[in-house]
Structure 1
Amino acid sequence: MTWLLVVGLALFVMAMLLFVLKIPRGAREAVASALLLGIAGYVTQGSPSLAGAPTQGREQAPADAAAMVEARGKVTNSGIPTLNRWVVTSDAFARNGNYADAAEVLRIAVNEDPASSEAWLAMANALVGHADGLLTPGALYAYRRAIETDPDAPGPPFFLGLAYAQEGRFVEARKLWADLLLNAPDSAQWRGPLFEQLQRLDAVIATQKRQALQGKAPVRPAVVP
């Protein structure tokens, strides 16, 4: 009976994506693959006939992925959650670390609406996640398109600065964040966290300068989204 419920739920989700969100043909394979993987994982690892045995939770990589998605929703001047159906779908993939599928959905989004800064930013973050934190040429292009399509949006320069900082390009990261903070509205909720990030970055840059004079190895910062 449990297996029928699992399969039925998967079919219901697929129907909602096809007929409500109207996912085009180009994204159907990625969505179907994700659903099939979920069913396969349950078939191979699920034991519905056994009694529950809760264990202590362990931190996993998807937690960081989900944090990045949540952070993107906070570094914004709009308090309204995204209404872009492609971004919503891609976020579901990105939260679970399925960056390739997320980027594929967002490729369709930017082809449909090249002026969507939100979609370009989500794509850039997905590409960085897929590259294990590296700022690839494709991700850099997506960040720059996000900035070009909406120069007033705080998200693109913030996350591009974050990508720079993770690669050790602190001067470039600082310039982006300092300019962003200078123009940040006083009421922006992300202003305080950005100020703290900038302080951490300044401390690291100062430490690196001292170490360079002393001939020591540079220190890398613990930058958080």
Structure 2
Amino acid sequence: MAGTWQLQEAARLMGWIMLALLGLGSAALLWLGGVSRSLWSFVGAAMMLGAAGYALQGDPLLPGHPVAANAEPIEIDPALTELRDSMLGRYTAEGAYLIAADGLTRAGDTRNAVRAVLGGVNKYPRSLALWTGLGSALSLHDGVVSPAALFAFRHAAGLNKEHPAPPYFLGLAYIRAGDYATARPYWARALELSPPEQPYRKEIAAQLARLDAFLAAAEQARGAAAAN
């Protein structure tokens, strides 16, 4: 009995040491990457939450076992993430909530992805990036551009009527829902609002051109079907 207790204590001590090393390593990476200090508190809070869970429930001697996922993973196009970052920024306090939502979405947990962005909105209620992200998260969770998602996108647009992100990502939400014709004017508006010097303008123009080609081909196919 004493030997087992000593083994448990030694294993638990090693767990705390590894947690401390992980925290130091994370801090070093944030510093070397030039990340804003406002983001450090977000990472620190996550580490403290993990430490609290380990202290309450951790048992290093429990045998491991495979855990089945309870949701289908969702692939996020890295190019779209880069486009969003170039339009809205990445290494910011608000961006940290979008990054967290991305991770949850990739795991198929769209409900908690919405909650993650809502947490950011509660802290930064005038953040265009977070309201736009909330519209995207809600539309992914609902599978359509629901009234709640539309409200979030419109609120984001109201915060800055000259920013291309809200109409672009609202258009993208309609594309994902299969409503291509409705998406078209939003992408056209996003292109109109994109400054000529911004690199994302060229990408939006290319996507709009592909959408126009698709809509033209679909209209031609409908005409041919009607003629027959």
TM-score bin (small chain): 0.5 to 0.7
Offset at residue 134 of structure 1 (A): 2.4
- Equivalent runs, 1:38-187 vs 2, <5 Å: 43-45=64-66, 61-64=73-76, 68-74=80-86, 76=87, 81-84=91-94, 85-131=96-142, 133-187=143-197
Match of 1:200 in 2: 210
Provide the rounded CA distance (Å) in 1 between the counterparts of 2:124 and 2:102: 17
Provide the rounded CA distance (Å) in 2 between the counterparts of 1:146 and 1:7: 44
Offset at residue 127 of structure 1 (A): 1.8
The alpha-carbon distance between structure 1 residues 45 and 6, as it changes in their structure 2 partners (threshold 3 A), is farther
The alpha-carbon distance between structure 1 residues 62 and 212, as it changes in their structure 2 partners (threshold 3 A), is closer
The alpha-carbon distance between structure 1 residues 7 and 96, as it changes in their structure 2 partners (threshold 3 A), is farther
Structure 2, gaps ≥5 residues long: 1-10, 28-39
Alpha-carbon contact 1:107-1:123 (below 8 Å) kept: yes
Provide the rounded CA distance (Å) in 1 between the counterparts of 2:198 and 2:165: 12
Provide the rounded CA distance (Å) in 1 between the counterparts of 2:188 and 2:127: 25
Provide the rounded CA distance (Å) in 2 between the counterparts of 1:102 and 1:7: 31
Aligned match for 1:20, one of 18, 41, 64: 41
Match of 2:6 in 1: none
The two structures, once aligned, show a CA RMSD in angstroms of 4.0
The alpha-carbon distance between structure 1 residues 104 and 206, as it changes in their structure 2 partners (threshold 3 A), is same
Alpha-carbon contact 1:157-1:176 (below 8 Å) kept: yes
Q: Percent identity?
A: 28
TM-score, scaled relative to structure 2: 0.63
The alpha-carbon distance between structure 1 residues 2 and 91, as it changes in their structure 2 partners (threshold 3 A), is farther
C-alpha deviations, 1:2-42, integer Å up to 9, x for none?
995499549x77xx9xx93386xxxx7xxx7xxx9xx9xx9
Alpha-carbon contact 1:65-1:94 (below 8 Å) kept: no
Offset at residue 121 of structure 1 (A): 1.4
Bigger Rg, structure 1 or 2: 2
Provide the rounded CA distance (Å) in 1 between the counterparts of 2:176 and 2:141: 14
TM-score, scaled relative to structure 1: 0.64
Q: Name whichever of 79-88 and 108-117 sits farther off.
A: 79-88
Provide the rounded CA distance (Å) in 2 between the counterparts of 1:98 and 1:79: 24
* Number of equivalences: 185
Provide the rounded CA distance (Å) in 1 between the counterparts of 2:80 and 2:12: 34
Provide the rounded CA distance (Å) in 2 between the counterparts of 1:6 and 1:112: 31
